[in-house]
Amino acid sequence: MSAVIIEGKLVHYEAIGRGRPVIFIHGWLGSWRYWMSAMDDLSERYRAYALDLWGFGDSDRRQDGYSLSAYVDQVEQFMEEMGVSRAVLVGHGLGGVVAIRLAARAPERVDRLVAVSTPLVGSAIAPPLATFSNHHNGEWISRILGRRQASTYPEVQMEANKTDLNAVIRSVQTVWTEDLRPDLESFTFPVLLVYGKNDPLIRPPEDNWVSRWEENVYLVSLEDSFHFPMLDEAARFTRLLRQFLALGSEVGALELRDEWRRRTR
């Protein structure tokens, strides 16, 4: 276990590999742990970091730290502590929102960005996550995902009891008022959006918005994935991630888009 102190509070993280930095940011359900397979896959060529946001995993609880701006501050300060001036950001759910907002605030710090199962507008958050309250303690992951679906994610379940439910509730409330689409339209670096076609919690962007994006924004829908594509289709997800990180020229970008469109229909 590795940790760093930020604003007097402990932030837990794990790091593996050597090379170009990639920072993984988890979402509302879980912690750094469900990134393990992707981190291991990248470790031969990249330095992969994954941190626990305030109130999740083994990071400290912080009642004043559950807003979107506080989480953006946390990740940016984490980069400072790690000596990372510029990195690839890979975020899931809440982590994807944090990554996009950090990129909008400091685009010079972002090499490229991957947002997985990320609501681009607050209304894209579907029940029961949008209506979750702290009355739903106990097996709260099962209440959100459904008992059968939750049981397929031991990486998520094993850390659930560490979560401060206020972190889930308050961060959902702050994201509900956000619209990330103008941020995406302003980015000039490569952006990959990944959604599980069967995700019960996050709705993908509407077609009329997708058609407005520039050639640097790619949208992939994974046919057999739910809310956790990195777990539902681990091999396919990591293959897509490696290919996206290796992009160089615009020609290569177009080839990636065409190839994955064919694969994911």
Say which residue, 143 or 260, is predicted with more confidence. 143
Distance of alpha carbon 135 from alpha carbon 82, whole angstroms = 38
- The pLDDT assigned to 262 comes to 42
**Cross-sheet strand order for the sheet of 20-25:** 2-6, 9-16, 46-51, 20-25, 87-92, 110-116, 191-196, 217-222
Share the mean pLDDT of the chain.
Answer: 91
Question: What is the pTM for the complete model shown?
Answer: 0.94
- Identify whether the C-beta of residue 57 lies closer than 8 Å to the C-beta of residue 159: yes
Residue 37 has pLDDT above 70, yes or no: yes
Of the pLDDT bands very low, low, confident and very high (cuts 50, 70, 90), residue 165 is very high
What residues form DSSP beta bridges with 78?
Answer: none
Beta-carbon contacts of residue 68 (< 8 Å; ≥ 6 apart)? 97, 98, 101, 171, 174, 175, 178
Span 220-246, average pLDDT: 95
- The pLDDT assigned to 72 comes to 98
Of the pLDDT bands very low, low, confident and very high (cuts 50, 70, 90), residue 85 is very high
Give me the CATH number covering residue 81.
Answer: 3.40.50.1820
**One-letter amino acid for residue 132 of the chain:** F
Helices (H), 43-118: 68-82, 94-105
Of the pLDDT bands very low, low, confident and very high (cuts 50, 70, 90), residue 133 is confident
Of the pLDDT bands very low, low, confident and very high (cuts 50, 70, 90), residue 252 is very low
Q: Is 27 exposed, middle or buried (0-12, 13-18, 19+ CB in 10 A)?
A: buried
Q: What percent of the chain lies above the pLDDT cut of 90?
A: 80
Of the pLDDT bands very low, low, confident and very high (cuts 50, 70, 90), residue 135 is low
Point out the least confidently predicted range of 127-136, 186-195, 235-244: 127-136
- The pLDDT assigned to 126 comes to 96
Of the pLDDT bands very low, low, confident and very high (cuts 50, 70, 90), residue 187 is very high
Distance of alpha carbon 45 from alpha carbon 145, whole angstroms = 34
Looking at the structure of the chain, the number of domains it has is 1
- Identify whether the C-beta of residue 201 lies closer than 8 Å to the C-beta of residue 174: no
Q: Per the structure block, which two tokens stand in for 238?
A: 């990591």
Residue 251 has pLDDT above 80, yes or no: no
Span 13-27, average pLDDT: 98
For 148-224, list the strands marked E by DSSP: 191-196, 217-222
Span 172-194, average pLDDT: 94
Residue 249 has pLDDT above 50, yes or no: no
Task: Give the residue numbers spanning the domain of 61.
Answer: 2-264
- The pLDDT assigned to 260 comes to 55
Of the pLDDT bands very low, low, confident and very high (cuts 50, 70, 90), residue 231 is very high
- The pLDDT assigned to 238 comes to 96
Residue 232 has pLDDT above 60, yes or no: yes
- The pLDDT assigned to 139 comes to 81
